[in-house]
Structure 1
């Protein structure tokens, strides 16, 4: 209950001004305090999520979902919806209902093919097992993005509030930057929904209807990390352009500035105004120039690595690393960057405190991290 109380306080107070830090020049950590054990491999895996019994759900971007034991036994889950797996698109995130023990529901995001491209979809279905064969029943889209398009930056990360009452969804700007500042475009936003996809009556613009009613925050670029910290605060990271990857503390009604401001430049080398030039936009708490291309976000709250408690664990695609960010009352700082020799797509923490990673590769491995030396 204390986490719910803290969350309510944060939402009531808004987003405090926190110091900005550039962690881009950080060096690799000289020592790894963990042993990395490969458990299974997949064809371009994208996301992992834990069931209450300790098994994992793993998505492959091409459109397959697997139920995996901690020992690496894999069983494919079917049927799944058709996905558009072009470029950055495909089957994306998977999340388990906070009330899975009673409702058996899981949530998926994916790019749905259409006549004019693909649109992001949030769907839910019941996971059932009969005779050892896992399958999905009553799969239903509960949110759809429109208009469709043929570009990347889908976002699509799901996070449930600590009390399980609300679902947050990150939506990328699909490489159409102006959409992130258009209040009626489902682009460059964090949405706050009820678990059935409807609008909570206490959203900032609930009475406005449409995208405005669903919107929690706006002004985001390519958000591949969204998670609640142990203190109840919601954090998001997003990829910048040429520089300017961001870690943002999320609070309702805030505008984080893309594409009007960024601590990076365009890919063509043109300058974008920095955050400190436009105080009406909420700046990142931490940013990376040069970039790490962050993907996956989990907050550590387990027993195996007590020194990490409350830290954000972030995968680095460009950095090919696992990054640990320490959250403080007045900001955040990168404290460790461990080279992993592969693009890290997602990070999750198991109930026993082990950290699990997946690699972004055609033979991407599922890896379990435990303390070095046992």
Structure 2
């Protein structure tokens, strides 16, 4: 990503109004000698944005060590060191080999052990596998002098995730030194897994530091449930925070709309995909129900999509007016958002640094009391919010806005910022439906059991001529698996769910009888999906057929 070419200092002044009003940037914009400055009346919070490090390769998360060093992850698999405000040139050695062919995979979270000063242990979350079967892990390792040693994988997700969405995500250490871990649903293709208790998709889990389930969890006595499940019903819990009053809060990213702020309790079910305000990427509403029932309603939900990412409560003294407020980054909204909650309700929201035009992957509070943020691109930046105005010697450090186009849409935005990673994005972006080839592939892989198009072979499996937007497990006369037929876990077949099923049916719908092995070639999966779509909606299968979420 190229930085803005016009040399100018930016001062941002944000109005702090009463706790019952939503507020934003205020003041008069003046220009002098090439500088842009937002003026504000006395009493308003004034801050500037410092550029601490540049040219980071898709950075994801950061943590601090007792000596003041910051460690931050880059998704392609590197762990970097920031010391005394400077990014060191050499990456940490001993990091795991990771799957990084899609924008959702790679080396993700990093957290220092609560007893790091005495044991030197770090925890990393990362992905392995292939595009159609993506496996999440937590690794524990000893860190010293720029190297990881004594690496041990202490946790692995029970079921691999299909192409197209996040899997393992954030770690939050609790005062008792156990950890909550947010688990993505693995994309739209595995949404039928989220309401099941035999896997980790769309769950928050509770682990000891050795990776074992914390005893006596809310699901420990539930038949067939994984004992580490602490809460469920999330699409992608991209941020988890514990506030000073002991409450646990989680951000959850919807598809098109349906982003949520949730107050999370042990054993709670937060509804995805049965209860949501979000829409599928086809424009179809994900659910006919938006609240109530057996599900916990969010404290707030947002549309259009902001794609919030990362969550903290600010407890420092650098910005006293913000103390106690929640902060999250936004990938689609391109802001840091300040949220004030009182009495279980959001009473104030404020967008910070929106004119920087940056995808904010995460936010954190440093030991210095400043707020830090990572921008999500192939030339990402580490930013720091500082109160007041920069001194003359600090003006060279003031961050300039991104020059990436703002009107390219979601996929164009990904491409312009280099968010895509090589293999998956090439297949997805270059895919072209080939009807002759797709029909041949169907004949080779599916026609022995299923009717579709001109294939009339038969009776072992359901007729697929009308499969698109049909609910799974609904044709009479077939012995469907429980996961396909249960209203809580069945899906409406679309590109996401069909691609996942074709690639790995037993993972997503255990008990399904299949005559052929899973198909691990993603381009073949896309051809078969497009063929089935053409039988129901021929006018929609003229270009690319891959689908992906943020």
Q: TM-score range by the shorter chain?
A: 0.7 to 0.9
Shift in Å, 1:199: 1.4
Q: Which runs of 5+ in 1 are unaligned?
A: 1-25
Q: Deviations along 1:167-226, whole A, 9 cap, x unmatched?
A: 000111112111110111221100001111111112112245875201000101011101
Higher strand share: 1
Whole-angstrom CA distance in 2 between matches of 1:334 and 1:78? 44
Residues 353 and 118 (structure 1 numbering): CA distance in 2 closer, same or farther, change over 3 Å? same
Q: Deviations over 1:217-262 (max 9, x none)?
A: 0101011101111211111101101111011111000000000010
CA distance in 2, matches of 1:341, 1:164: 39
Cα 1:69/1:178, change in 2 over 3 Å: same
Higher helix share: 2
2:101 aligned residue (42, 64, 86): 86
Report how many aligned residue pairs link the two structures.
343
Alpha-carbon shift at residue 27 of structure 1 (Å)? 7.5
Distance in 2 (CA, whole Å) between partners of 1:101 and 1:210 is 39
> What corresponds to 2:368 in structure 1?
352
SS at match of 1:222: coil
The match for 2:507 is: none
- 2:338 is the alignment partner of 1:324: yes
Deviation at 1:137, TM superposition (A): 0.9
Please list, as runs of the form range in 1=range in 2, the aligned pairs for 1:98-177 lying within 5 A after superposition.
98-113=114-129, 117-129=133-145, 134-151=146-163, 152-161=165-174, 163-175=175-187, 176-177=190-191
Question: Deviation of residue 33 (structure 1)?
Answer: 2.7
TM-score w.r.t. the length of structure 1 is: 0.87
Q: 1:241 aligns with which of 233, 237, 255?
A: 255
Please list the CA deviations of residues 84-133 of structure 1 after superposition, one character each: whole Å capped at 9, or x if unmatched.
1122111111111111111111111011125963211111111111xxxx
Matched, 1:72 2:81: no
Establish whether residue 34 from structure 1 lines up as the match of residue 47 from structure 2.
Answer: yes
Q: Quick one: higher RCO (CA 8 Å, sep 6+), 1 or 2?
A: 1
Question: Would you say the 8 A contact 1:114–1:148 is kept in 2?
Answer: no
**Gapped regions of structure 2 (runs ≥ 5):** 1-21, 27-37, 39-44, 391-550
Query: Following the alignment from structure 1 to structure 2, what is the Cα–Cα distance between the partners of residues 96 and 313?
Result: 21
Q: Is the 8 A contact 1:39 1:70 kept in 2?
A: no
1:251 corresponds to:
265
Out of 234, 238, 257, the residue aligned to residue 220 of structure 1 is: 234
Match of 1:18 in 2: none
Name the SS for the 1:102 alignment partner: helix
Does the aligned pair in 1 maintain the 2:101–2:131 contact within 8 Å? no
Shift of 1:61: 0.6
Larger radius of gyration: 2
Q: Distance in 1 between the 2:86 and 2:373 partners?
A: 13
For residue 194 of structure 2, give the secondary structure of its aligned residue in structure 1.
Answer: helix
Name the CA distance, whole Å, in 1 between partners of 2:224 and 2:374.
36
**TM-score, normalising length: structure 2:** 0.60
d(CA) in 2 for partners of 1:350, 1:223: 22
